[in-house]
């Protein structure tokens, strides 16, 4: 049974990779990636815009959301936590396209509108994960720390943040991956990015623009996702990995 299962999994894996390889071979043979190598300058410019929008908004969101998450989990402000968490949950049901359109309503056409929209949209997952990470620290552990004479700042720095770091990075990952996709829509508010080629392709029914825009965006999203998953693994304190394993066993 076990070897049968292993074999099934292997077959499915081979089929998947074959399909992906077939897609790329087909795409290249049809010249669908040609915009990238025919206009490398423009490609890099669009990619640069794309990356700028993502990281400017993401960076600003981290700077605001992490401290805010720390702030609302302090005992004195616990009462605000419920409100913030509810807003964060509700906010994430609003589609990214709607947030982008609303930002355009505020700032008009341009890169600023795109960055504002992505910034606001990234706040939510980062905030949510910061709060969840800090809340996941065992009350008894914090009690022991207080009882031993750690100050609140020391408890935050030595106990709470190391325990929350994985969750915070996961929040940043979620935010960035969503942002990469939303940034592809930024063309609509006149902010450029690889979305320009995708939308050109849709309008002109030109598959080469579509593929030359869509595939790099996809690969960018997957790469950022993998990079941050790797960061999560590397930055997790070893003791916490063991703790998780112990809890799962």
Q: Is 8 or 18 the residue whose CB approaches other proteins more closely?
A: 8
Phi, psi (degrees; rounded to nearest 5) at 25: -60, -45
- Candidates 138, 230, 233, 235: give the one binding other proteins (CB under 8 A): 138
Ranges within 34-63 binding other proteins (CB under 8 A): none
The Cα–Cα gap between 220 and 47 comes to 10
Q: Are 132 and 106 in contact (CB under 8 A)?
A: no
- 24: three-class secondary structure by DSSP: helix
Phi, psi (degrees; rounded to nearest 5) at 139: -55, -40
The Cα–Cα gap between 247 and 249 comes to 6
Ranges within 194-213 binding other proteins (CB under 8 A): 195, 198-199, 201-202, 205, 207, 210-211, 213
Q: Is 26 or 59 the residue whose CB approaches other proteins more closely?
A: 26
Does 127 contact other proteins by CB under 8 A?
A: no
- Candidates 29, 76, 238, 248: give the one binding other proteins (CB under 8 A): 238
User: Taking the CA of residue 109 as centre, how many other CA atoms within 13 Å lie in the half-sphere pointing to its CB?
Assistant: 4
Does 184 contact other proteins by CB under 8 A?
A: yes
- Candidates 90, 204, 227, 235: give the one binding other proteins (CB under 8 A): 90
Give the CA dihedral 204, 43, 215, 19, nearest 10 degrees: 100
User: Taking the CA of residue 121 as centre, how many other CA atoms within 13 Å lie in the half-sphere pointing to its CB?
Assistant: 32
Does 237 contact other proteins by CB under 8 A?
A: yes
- Candidates 21, 94, 227, 235: give the one binding other proteins (CB under 8 A): 94
> With CB under 8 A as the contact rule, which of the stretches 35-43, 64-72, 80-88, 188-196 interacts with other proteins?
188-196
Number of residues engaging other proteins in binding (CB under 8 A): 75
């Amino acid at each position: 049974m076990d070897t049968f299962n292993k074999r099934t999994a292997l077959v499915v894996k081979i089929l998947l990779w074959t399909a992906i390889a077939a897609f790329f071979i087909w795409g290249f043979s049809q010249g669908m990636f040609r915009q990238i190598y025919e206009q490398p300058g423009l490609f890099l410019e669009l990619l640069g815009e794309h990356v700028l929008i993502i990281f400017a908004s993401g960076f600003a969101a981290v700077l605001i959301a992490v401290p805010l998450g720390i702030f609302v989990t302090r005992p004195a402000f616990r009462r605000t936590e419920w409100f913030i968490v509810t807003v964060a949950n509700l906010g994430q049901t609003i589609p990214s396209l709607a947030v982008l359109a609303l930002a355009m309503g505020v700032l008009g056409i341009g890169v600023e509108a795109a960055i504002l929209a992505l910034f606001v949209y990234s706040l939510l997952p980062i905030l949510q994960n910061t709060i969840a990470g800090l809340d996941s620290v065992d009350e008894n552990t914090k009690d022991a720390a207080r009882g031993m004479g750690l100050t609140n700042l020391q408890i935050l720095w030595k106990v709470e943040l190391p325990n929350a770091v994985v969750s915070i990075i996961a929040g940043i990952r979620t935010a960035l991956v969503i942002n990469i996709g939303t940034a592809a829509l930024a063309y609509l508010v006149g902010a450029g990015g690889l979305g320009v080629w995708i939308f050109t392709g849709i309008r002109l029914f030109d598959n080469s623009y579509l593929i030359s825009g869509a595939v790099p965006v996809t690969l960018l999203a997957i790469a950022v996702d993998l990079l941050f998953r790797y960061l999560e693994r590397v930055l997790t304190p070893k003791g916490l990995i063991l703790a998780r394993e112990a809890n799962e066993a």
